[in-house]
């Protein structure tokens, strides 16, 4: 099992508390990424999307999970579980210090997210609109 932490970094000017419009744990906020198979090392061709409000039955029959996907190359099944409650808005203070802010944790088994991308989701920040350059990273914990 690997826990991945998705973090954001941005150069904020006259803005603070950058976060998804409905907050870091917004149920409909969609995350897009490709999946790297731990078994065969292949990376999926297409991006997969997950959001907190989309859950499927866990393959082990216990409860639900955010994503179950089979590797197209080796057919090994992997799962991704989103762990809310760890996201924080990116503040101007953190931005000026070049720090990043956590957005979401992913508990990954068999398939690890790579090449993260945002969809057309809305973000919000406080104060006047200004120039923002947004960077995202996935960190292995």
Site membership for Zn ion, residue 35 (CB under 5 A): no
d(CA 125, CA 12): 10
The residue from 17, 30, 39, 48 that contacts Zn ion (CB under 5 A) is 39
Decide if 101 contacts 8 (C-beta within 8 A). yes
Tell me the site size for Zn ion, rule CB under 5 A: 6
Q: Choose the stretch contacting Zn ion; rule: CB under 5 A; options: 4-12, 29-37, 51-59, 130-138.
A: 29-37
Count of Cβ atoms closer than 10 Å to residue 90 Cβ? 28
Alpha helices in the chain (DSSP H): 92-96
Residue 73: CB minimum distance to Zn ion, A: 5
Residue 1: CB minimum distance to Zn ion, A: 17
Near Zn ion in 108-137, by CB under 5 A: none
The residue from 15, 71, 81, 92 that contacts Zn ion (CB under 5 A) is 71
d(CA 140, CA 112): 9
């Amino acid at each position: 099992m690997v826990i991945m932490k998705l973090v954001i970094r941005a150069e904020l000017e006259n803005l603070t508390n950058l976060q998804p419009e409905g907050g870091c744990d917004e149920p409909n906020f969609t995350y897009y990424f490709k999946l790297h198979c731990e078994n065969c090392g292949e990376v999926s061709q297409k991006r997969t999307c997950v959001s907190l409000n989309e859950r499927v039955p866990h393959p082990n029959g216990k409860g639900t999970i955010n994503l179950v996907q089979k590797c197209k190359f080796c057919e090994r099944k992997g799962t991704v579980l989103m762990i809310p409650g760890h996201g924080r808005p990116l503040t101007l203070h953190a931005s000026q210090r070049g720090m990043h802010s956590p957005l979401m944790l992913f508990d990954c088994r068999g398939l690890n997210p790579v090449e993260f991308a945002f969809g057309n989701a809305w973000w919000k920040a406080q104060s006047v609109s200004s120039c923002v350059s947004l960077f995202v990273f996935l960190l292995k914990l």
